[in-house]
Amino acid sequence: MLSNSKRSLVLSVVVGILAVMPVLASAGEWQYNMTEGVTSISKDVYDLHMLIFYICCVIGILVFGVMFVSMFLHRKSRGAVASQFHESLTLELLWTAVPAIILIAMAFPATSTLKDMYDSDDPEIDILVTGHQWKWRYDYQGTEVSFFSNLSTPSAQIDNEQEKGQHYLLEVDEPLVIPTNTKVRFLVTAADVIHSWWVPDLAVKRDAIPGYTNAAWTYVEKEGVYRGQCAELCGKDHGFMPIEVHVVSKAKYAEWLAGKAAQAAEVKAASSKTFSFDELYSGGETLYATNCAACHGGNGEGGVGPAIKGSKIATGGITDHLDMVINGSPNNPMMAAYGEQLDPVSLAKIITFQRNAFGNNMGDSVQPLDIVTYKQGQ
């Protein structure tokens, strides 16, 4: 019996080692610990993490050490005879008190870090962060600047048809930009379900709760690109709504903001411009891919949402189509009201595209002004 069990032990150890081999081989390059991050809070959190970790290690070594010694010395096969002691009030009190003291000691640094995290008062910049299925929207408070930030990894990479890039699934079309050495407050909320806005390097993670706002803040000294992901299950593409934060110098930030504001003004102006069919159609193609394809399929074949190809609405009256896209579906909240999310130019492009792509061939088109008029008419 003993030899049998020894054999099985050896067997399992071998299997175990084989499986762990790759780890040992390349342990050096692997990230296996929490990031220290780039803010004073994130560094505090990291220190706290390491502190608890070491405390647990020490306790673990003691407890498991005693166990192993006992398993080695006090085994029947070595002729150990069992003692019969089974009680000691002193010991019980001791091992109640000592952990209690350790825990109290740990509570102090934890509480002070927690206080710092909560101190989001007096920000220099306020940004409203809204989680949508499945993208983030950033509104710079007090400016006209407001945009969506979508996953930009091509679907060919996701479907393994193309080599995956370094920032696979952690890259967006329009990153959030903030300046260095500035207290930035994030007001986090959501439009549909709960999301969570998380950037590890900033140690900021806040749940985005529909109808409510949570405040978080950061103060970054180092320029750089910091990446994160949505950290609350929010449906199908929860794994595909990354966050990219570019921290730039104050000067560059001012420049960027001005550019964005100008762009916003331009879009506003463009709302009264008339576009050619081709401009609308080809612009719509890319916008469709980023905004709608997730549910309606890259080729309009449908998915979570119904097919656009041959759809009654996309091949029916324009008003119904406008209504569906601008106000969303009354029956299914997944089809959101895009009237708030996209500007009239983009909407005109997408709708024109939907009406003419995938063999829909309606031949008609929608101008930004139509959208504006429709919205005003409501």
Residues that bind ligand CUA (CB under 6 A): 131, 134, 195, 230, 232-234, 238, 241
Calpha distance 292→342 (Å, rounded): 12
Selection from 157, 340, 112, 150 nearest residue 243 by Cα: 150
Give one DSSP letter per residue of 39-61, joined into a string: SHHHHHHHHHHHHHHHHHHHHHH
Question: In the complex, which residues of this chain contact ligand HEC (CB under 6 A)?
Answer: 133, 291-292, 294-296, 304-306, 311-314, 321, 324-325, 329, 331-332, 334-335, 338, 350, 354
**Chosen from another protein, ligand CUA, ligand HEC, none, partner binding at 313 (C-beta under 5 to 8 Å by type):** ligand HEC
Interaction between residue 90 and another protein (CB under 8 A): no
Calpha distance 254→334 (Å, rounded): 37
**Chosen from another protein, ligand HEC, ligand CUA, none, partner binding at 131 (C-beta under 5 to 8 Å by type):** ligand CUA
Task: State whether residue 211 is helix, strand or coil.
Answer: coil
**Chosen from ligand HEA, ligand HEC, ligand CUA, none, partner binding at 324 (C-beta under 5 to 8 Å by type):** ligand HEC
Longest dimension (CA), the chain: 96
User: Looking at 38, 172, 179, 207, which residue binds another protein (CB under 8 A)?
Assistant: 207
Calpha distance 268→170 (Å, rounded): 31
Nearest approach, Cβ of 346 to ligand HEC (angstroms)?
8
**Chosen from ligand HEA, another protein, ligand HEC, none, partner binding at 319 (C-beta under 5 to 8 Å by type):** none
Q: Looking at beta carbons only, is 186 or 374 nearer to ligand HEC?
A: 374
Q: Looking at beta carbons only, is 62 or 258 nearer to another protein?
A: 62
**Chosen from ligand CUA, another protein, ligand HEA, none, partner binding at 91 (C-beta under 5 to 8 Å by type):** another protein
Binding mask 113-132 for another protein (x = CB under 8 A): xxx-xx---------x----
Calpha distance 361→133 (Å, rounded): 29
User: Looking at 40, 143, 173, 205, which residue binds another protein (CB under 8 A)?
Assistant: 205
Strand partners, 184: 125, 218
Interaction between residue 111 and another protein (CB under 8 A): yes
Nearest approach, Cβ of 363 to another protein (angstroms)?
34
**Identity at 93, one-letter amino acid code:** L
> Long-range pairs for 101-106 at CB < 8 Å and ≥24 separation?
102/55, 102/59, 106/51, 106/52, 106/55
**Chosen from ligand CUA, ligand HEA, ligand HEC, none, partner binding at 102 (C-beta under 5 to 8 Å by type):** ligand HEA
> Long-range pairs for 258-261 at CB < 8 Å and ≥24 separation?
260/140, 260/143, 260/145, 260/147, 261/143, 261/144, 261/145
Nearest approach, Cβ of 84 to another protein (angstroms)?
6
Q: Looking at beta carbons only, is 151 or 187 nearer to ligand HEC?
A: 151
Burial call 234-251: b when 16+ CB within 10 Å, e when fewer? beeebebbbbbbebbeee
**Chosen from ligand HEC, ligand HEA, another protein, none, partner binding at 202 (C-beta under 5 to 8 Å by type):** none
Q: Looking at beta carbons only, is 110 or 270 nearer to another protein?
A: 110
Residue showing tokens 């041959």? 310
**Token pair in block for residue 28:** 């050096």
Q: Looking at beta carbons only, is 49 or 250 nearer to another protein?
A: 49
User: Looking at 122, 159, 363, 377, which residue binds another protein (CB under 8 A)?
Assistant: 159
Strand partners, 219: 183
Q: Looking at beta carbons only, is 47 or 320 nearer to ligand HEC?
A: 320
